[in-house]
Amino acid sequence: MKHARPVHLKPPVAFSKGLTTLFLASLLPVALLTGFSTAAVAQPAVPVSQFTLANGLTVIVKPDHRAPTVAHMLWVRVGSMDEVDGTSGVAHVLEHMMFKGTPTVKPGDFSRQVAALGGRENAFTSRDNTGYYQQIPAGQLETVMRLEADRFANNRWPDEEFTREIEVVKEERRLRTEDAPRALLSEQATALTFLAAPYRRPIVGWMSDLDAMTPGDVRDFHQRWYVPANAALVVAGDVDVAQVRALAEKYYGAIAARPVPVRKPRSEPAQAGMRRLEFKAPASQAYVTLAFKVPKLEAADLAGASSAASASAPGSRDALALTVLAAVLDGYSGARLERALVQGQGPDGRIADSAGASNGLLGRGPQLFRLSGVPAAGKTTPQVALALRQQVALVAQGGVNEAELKRVKTQWVASETYKLDSVFSQAQELGSNWVQGLPLDANTRLIAELRTITAAEVQAVAARYFGDDQLTTATLLPQPMDPQRKPRHPNVAPRH
């Protein structure tokens, strides 16, 4: 049964060190769920502290004493978008190699020591950031802070550790991308959508770049980007601020300050015409995605907005209205796309087996509004694409009603309360907001902003951003299985 679901503000894509946290990919959107305060329930505000160490490292602390556990996360503002051609995937490979030791911690001992504390740990890489975390019993914070600060500053490993681990990463790529037709489609569609913006490269990296990667590539990336002023420590749970501050000064404060490298803009040139991709892969069901280039919410607009005055920049207003539009189309069971395409309430009957809409809203790079669908038996991807766009056109022509608007806001309110259940997801929200340059109270501000979005604004963005010229359409063309076919990628012997 489908739960009424909140709108995802981030694409649920992340690669991680271990299978155990595939869940993280689905949690990431939760980190940015937004809500509205209604008459429902006012939760007591839990104060969050933020300060900066002398070397530039940001520290964010959210005490929450309901359970004797702590989430310790280190966020680095570097992800696949900071890579360059030829070494795609290096941010993620580095994330794996961070578990391979320092001068004082042998390969594998990081994980052994965290396990001995009763801890759970993993790491994740996305387009915008890399993150490392441990969930530990209260009282064990100092050990993980010492270990994490050590590998941040002193990650060292022999080449043979890399030689083995790069094969693990290739297996990860095979598992999540090569054998997942819709992931392959998405990878190529993204590369077609963005020509210059670094989002065009896959997070895990092209296979050929993984084949050619060297230990030096990884060490250089670490040396370049893992500087204190490019990182934030987030600690949430059964701690107090003074204790965290003292430990942070002791362990992270000892790392030498270095400048954060200059980031070149690599701006995406204007798109002036539809792009189309057809992609053949073994599958039974076809699939189509439509990605429209749209404005994003600029962090400065949100940071500058007061509760009385809304973010005035038109692009940011539009980004917020597009998020409301996505929720009206696909934010709950029985929303517009489901009724029109999956249930078949229109004149053409049932068109799709599933249909979805999402808006990017926030990110270091350019954002997209996505529509997607799987054709029902006997229907085609052009029919699905047309029906999806017709639903947007209906909003452009007729607007949305107040009940729909209120409904999506109500769900966001409720999810604001539900997310308090997990200290870990609160730490995730604080970290991902820091990556975007947002203030500590970003979610409160976002709520205030979204509350001001009117039905007329939703109608206006539906009319404005969904023409052909900013669109990339990608279609999966299902192919029959061939068990006797040779492997699609020749087996490459390890080179290192």
Partner 1 sequence: MIFATKKIAVNAILAGATGLFCHISAWAAIPIQHWTLASGAQVYLVESPAVAMLDVQIDFDAGSRRDPPAQAGLAGMMAGMLDKGVQARQGAPALDENALGVAWADLGAQFGAGASADRLNFSLRSLTEPDLLDQAVALAARGIAEPSFPEPIWQRERQRMQAALKESYTRPASVIGRAYAQAVYGAHPYGQDVTEATLARISVVDLRAAHAAGVVACRARISMVGAVTRAQADVLAARLLSRLPQVPCSSLPPLPEVAEVEPLTQPEEKRIPFDSAQAHVLIGQPGFKRADPDYFALTVGNHILGGGGFVSRLTQEVREKRGLTYGVSSNFSPGLHAGSFTVGLQTRPDQAAQAVALVHQVVSDFVANGPTEVELQAAKDNLMGGFALRIDSNGKLLGNIASIAWNNLPLDYLDTWTQQVDSVTADDIKAAFARKLQPEKMVTVILGSSL
Q: How many CA atoms lie within 13 A of 235 on its CB side?
A: 32
| Residue 289 binds partner 1, judged by CB under 8 A | no
CB 283 within 8 A of CB 479: yes
Contacting residue, 84, 115, 195, 309, with partner 1 by CB under 8 A: 115
By beta-carbon proximity to partner 1, the closer residue of 16 and 472 is 16
| Binding span for partner 1 by CB under 8 A among 283-291, 359-367, 388-396, 455-463 | 283-291
Q: How many CA atoms lie within 13 A of 97 on its CB side?
A: 29
Q: How far is the CB of 463 from partner 1 (least distance, A)?
A: 25
Tokens of 241: 């601020």
| Residue 475 binds partner 1, judged by CB under 8 A | no
| Residue 4 binds partner 1, judged by CB under 8 A | yes
CA angle 237, 240, 245 (to 5 degrees): 110
By beta-carbon proximity to partner 1, the closer residue of 256 and 482 is 482
| Residue 312 binds partner 1, judged by CB under 8 A | no
Contacting residue, 99, 225, 252, 434, with partner 1 by CB under 8 A: 99
Contacting residue, 413, 450, 460, 474, with partner 1 by CB under 8 A: 413
Q: How far is the CB of 205 from partner 1 (least distance, A)?
A: 14
| Binding span for partner 1 by CB under 8 A among 258-266, 280-288, 298-306, 388-396 | 280-288
| Residue 47 binds partner 1, judged by CB under 8 A | no
| Residue 447 binds partner 1, judged by CB under 8 A | no
Touching partner 1, residues 53-72 (CB under 8 A): 65-69
401 burial type by CB count under 10 A (0-12 exposed, 13-18 middle, 19+ buried): exposed
| Residue 80 binds partner 1, judged by CB under 8 A | no
| Residue 347 binds partner 1, judged by CB under 8 A | no
Contacting residue, 334, 382, 398, 467, with partner 1 by CB under 8 A: 334
Contacting residue, 191, 414, 440, 477, with partner 1 by CB under 8 A: 414
Instruction: State the Cα–Cα distance between residues 303 and 457, nearest whole angstrom.
Output: 21
Contacting residue, 103, 272, 284, 308, with partner 1 by CB under 8 A: 284
Q: How far is the CB of 172 from partner 1 (least distance, A)?
A: 4
Touching partner 1, residues 387-406 (CB under 8 A): 406
Instruction: State the Cα–Cα distance between residues 69 and 256, nearest whole angstrom.
Output: 30
By beta-carbon proximity to partner 1, the closer residue of 40 and 84 is 40
Touching partner 1, residues 21-40 (CB under 8 A): 40
By beta-carbon proximity to partner 1, the closer residue of 258 and 407 is 407
| Residue 214 binds partner 1, judged by CB under 8 A | no
Q: How far is the CB of 39 from partner 1 (least distance, A)?
A: 8
Could you tell me which residues come within 8 angstroms of residue 246 by beta carbon, excluding any fewer than 6 positions away? none
By beta-carbon proximity to partner 1, the closer residue of 306 and 491 is 491
Contacting residue, 37, 49, 55, 111, with partner 1 by CB under 8 A: 111
By beta-carbon proximity to partner 1, the closer residue of 297 and 423 is 423
Touching partner 1, residues 136-195 (CB under 8 A): 136-140, 163-172, 174-175, 178-179, 181
| Residue 45 binds partner 1, judged by CB under 8 A | no
Q: How far is the CB of 107 from partner 1 (least distance, A)?
A: 8
**Smallest Cα–Cα separation from 199: which of 366, 32, 78?**
366
Q: How far is the CB of 320 from partner 1 (least distance, A)?
A: 20
| Residue 488 binds partner 1, judged by CB under 8 A | yes
Tokens of 452: 């001001």
Tokens of 103: 């001068």
By beta-carbon proximity to partner 1, the closer residue of 77 and 173 is 173
